[in-house]
Structure 1
C-alpha cells in the first residue's frame, strides 16, 4: 500500500506544468517581457511595467511615424545643421537630400540618430513637436508608462518606457506593412537625391535576424545609463511572439531562450475560410452560399491545436428573403469539449422572394371578380 501511495505521489510530482505556462529560463535582463500580440497576453516577464531608459528602441516609434508620414507624402529632406546628433549615425552631411522612407531605413538598420532628428524636424517642425506626436501615439497604443522626449532615444530623465509598452509598440509596427518589411531586412540600400550619384548600404544591427531563423524583426539600443536594450519579434507555425529585454548584457541568448520557452508552451490554431450551401425556400434561387471568414489564430497551449474540433451549426433550410450578410448559422471551435471560439455564418449574397407567375385565365378571373 505504501509503495502504491509513493508511486502516486511520484506521478503527481512528475506531471509537467500546464501547457499555457512556459517554463522560465534564466534571464539576465533587469526587466523583460515575452508578449503574444495575437491575444495580447504576457507569456513570461520580470518587472514588465518598470519604467526604464529605452535607448534606441525609441526609434521603433520614430520609424513607425516616419513611414506613416512617407505613405501620405514621401518628402525629400535636406540635411541641415539643426539635424545633427551625437552617437550612432548614418553619416549624413549638410546639403544631402534623401526621402523620408530612406531616413526610416537609416534608423532601423544602423540606428542613425541623425536620421531620427531629420525625420522628426521634417514631420513635427521641431524635435519637441515630434515628441508630442510620439506621446500622442503612445497614448493611443495604451503605452501607459511611456514618455518620449527625443526621437533618437538619447538619455533624458523624462524619457522612459517599459518592456511591456515597447512590446505593444512593436506589435503596432508589425501591423504596418512597410514597417514589417523594413524591420525584417538584414540590410538596406539608400539612394540619395543629392548628390545624385551617391548610394549607401546599411547593415541591420539586429543580429538576431542572422542568429535565429524565427526572428522577423526588432530594434537594438544602448547607452551607458540604459545598458543593452533589445526588442525583437519571432514567428513560428502561425504564432507570433515579441520579446523585450532592458539592461541585459546577454540579450541575444536571452531572446533565443525566451522564444524557445514560448514556442514550446504555446501553439496557434488558425480558423480557415469556410463556404457552404444551404437550401433556400421561396427564393429566386434554391440555395444560398454561407461564408465564414478566417479569424485571428486561437492561442493555445503547446500541442493543443491538434485537439481542436470544429462544429458547424445551421438550419436545414432558410426562407427567402435573405439579406446579404444575414446570420444563417455559426461555427464553433472546441478544445476537449470546451467552447473556445464562436463565429457567425453569414449569407454571401441577397436572395429575393420568388415572384409567382400568374396565367392568362387567372388574370381574366381576377378582372371579372374585381370589386
Structure 2
C-alpha cells in the first residue's frame, strides 16, 4: 500500500513536470490564439479601417531606425518629380552604414534613389533626396515632422531622414502603422515596397547596382503568403524593427514590431492572428441618408446628410458585435452648400474600436436672395408663425 502511494506521487510529479515543460515549449496553446509577442512594442492594424486589432505598448516612444524612410519616401513622392535628376553632395556621399556608395557629384533620378531608399535602405540616398526636395537636410526634416503631424502621428519626431540614432528621433508602433497606412495609399509607394529586387545605374562602373529588398517576408526563409511591404529597420539602440503588410482575399493588414528578438517571426504571428480571427463587415452603404442637417440662410432649412462612403469595420469572426451609432452634425451650417460638402460625421463604436465616415450634403442648397431673407425676418418679428417662406 505504501509502495503504491509512493509510485502515485512520483507519477503525479512526472505528469506535472511534463505539463510544465509542454507549456513552456508551446506557450501559444495556453492563450487561445493570442499571439505571444516579445517585442517591446507591437501593433496589428486593419489597413482599410485603421482599427487596431491587437497591441502591446502601442504608444511607447522608441528608436525607429530605418522605418524612418517610410516618411522620407512619402514626402519625396508627394513633393518631387520621379524624373528629377538628383546630384549627390559630399555630405550625402559620406553618410555611413547602409548605402549604395554614392560619389560626390553622381547623378541619379529621384525614382532610382527612392528605390535605393526603400529596398537597400540606403542612408546616402536618404540625404541626397532630402537635400534635393528640402534644399537642406534640416528643412526636409521639418517637412517630415509636418507630415507626421498631418497624419496624426503624435508620438513621432524626426531628427534626420535616414533613422540613424539621434537625440529626439523616435516613433511608436501605433504611429508607424498609421504612417504606413497613409503611405500605402500612394500607388508608387505600394509598387516600390512590394518589389523584391531592382537594378539602377552605377555611373563609371562596368555593372549596374542590384537592389535586393531587405524585407525577408517577401522572399527567402521567412517568406509570408500575401506579403506586400513595407520597411525594415535596425540599429543597436533600436534593435530589430519591422513594419510589415500583407493582403489576402482583398484584406490588407499592417503589423509593426519594435525592438523584437525576431521581427519576421513576430510580424508573421501578428498577421496570422489578424487573418485567422477577424473579418470585415459592412455597417452602412455609401449614399445612405442618416439625418436632416439644419441649414441657415438657405432656400431650404435642412439638407440630407448622407454617408460619403461605405462604412466597413473589422470584427472578430466568432464574436457578435453590436456597434453603437453616433451622428455628429457640424454646427452653424450656412447656405450656399454644394452636393458633397461635408456636413458631419457618423461614428460607430464597439468596445475599444471606433470607425467614422463623413456625412456630406445630399443636394445643393442655394442661398436665400436678400429680399426673401428680409421678408422672412419681418414675418418673424411680427410673429406670423403660420407663414413659411421656403
TM norm. shorter chain > 0.5: yes
Shift of 1:304: 8.4
Alignment correspondent of 1:238: 250
**Cα distance in 2 for residues equivalent to 1:341 and 1:53:** 31
Report deviation, 1:82: 1.5
Unaligned residue ranges in structure 1 (runs of 5+): 1-20, 275-291, 306-323, 326-339, 348-371
For 1:216, the equivalent position in structure 2 comes to: 228
- Supply the distance in 1 between the matched residues of 2:131 and 2:105 (Cα, whole angstroms): 15
How far 1:90 moved relative to its partner?
A: 1.4
Question: Do the aligned partners of 2:176 and 2:243 also contact (CA within 8 Å) in 1?
Answer: yes
The more displaced of 296-305 and 127-136 is 296-305
Q: 2-side partners of 1:166 and 1:159: how far apart? A: 13
After TM superposition, list the pairs within 5 Å mapping 1:120-135 onto structure 2: 120-135=130-145
Q: How far off is 1:101 after superposition?
A: 1.0
User: Within the alignment, does 1:117 sit opposite 2:132 as a pair?
Assistant: no
For residues 223 and 164 of structure 1, the distance between their equivalents in structure 2, rounded to whole angstroms, comes to 20
Higher RCO (C-alpha 8 Å, min separation 6): 1
| Equivalent in the alignment of 1:261 | 273
Residues matched between the structures, number: 286
Cα shift at 1:302: 2.0
Alpha-carbon displacement from aligned partner over 1:130-162 (angstroms, at most 9, x marks no partner): 110000000000000111011000101211110
2:272 and 2:357 mapped to 1: Cα distance? 30
Query: Which residue number corresponds to residue 302 of structure 1?
Result: 317
Matched residues in 2 for 1:46 and 1:35: separation?
Answer: 12
Distance 1:172 1:197 in 2: 39
Question: Quick check: 1:139 aligned with 2:154?
Answer: no
Query: Which residue of structure 2 aligns with residue 353 of structure 1?
Result: none
Q: Is the 8 A contact 2:130 2:161 kept in 1?
A: yes
The gaps in structure 2 that reach 5 residues or longer are 1-30, 288-306, 321-338, 341-354, 363-390
User: Using the alignment, how far apart are the partners of 1:202 and 1:341 within structure 2?
Assistant: 40
1-structure distance, mates of 2:149, 2:356:
30
Q: CA deviation at 1:80?
A: 2.1
Question: What is the match of residue 213 of structure 2?
Answer: 204
Q: 2:85 aligns with which of 76, 85, 93?
A: 76
Mapped partners of 1:341, 1:85: distance in 2: 43
1:12-23 matches, cutoff 5 A: 23=33
Number of the residue aligned with 1:183: 193
1:94, distance to aligned residue in structure 2 (A): 2.2
Distance, in Å, in 2 between the alignment partners of 1:208 and 1:215 is 6
Task: Return the offset for 1:67.
Answer: 1.9
Give the aligned partner of residue 264 of structure 2: 252
Contact 2:311 2:356 (8 Å CA) reproduced: no
Partner residue in 2 for 1:89: 99
Q: 1:253-285 CA deviation, whole Å, 9 max, x = no partner? A: 1111111111111112479999xxxxxxxxxxx
Partner Cα separation in structure 2 for residue 120 and residue 247 of structure 1 = 27
Distance 2:275 2:95 in 1: 40
4+ long deviations beyond 4 Å = 194-198, 269-274, 340-344
Residues 270-285 of structure 1 aligned to structure 2 (within 5 Å)? none
1:68 Cα deviation from its structure 2 partner: 2.0
Hey, what's the Cα distance between the residues in 2 that align with 1:157 and 1:167? Answer: 22
Q: Is the 8 A contact 2:309 2:357 kept in 1?
A: no
Contact 2:86/2:110, CA 8 A, preserved across alignment: yes
Q: Please give the alpha-carbon distance, in whole angstroms, between the structure 1 residues aligned to 2:356 and 2:232.
A: 37
Deviates more, 1:60-69 or 1:253-262: 60-69
The TM-score with structure 1 as length reference comes to: 0.68
Residue of structure 2 in register with 1:100 after alignment: 110
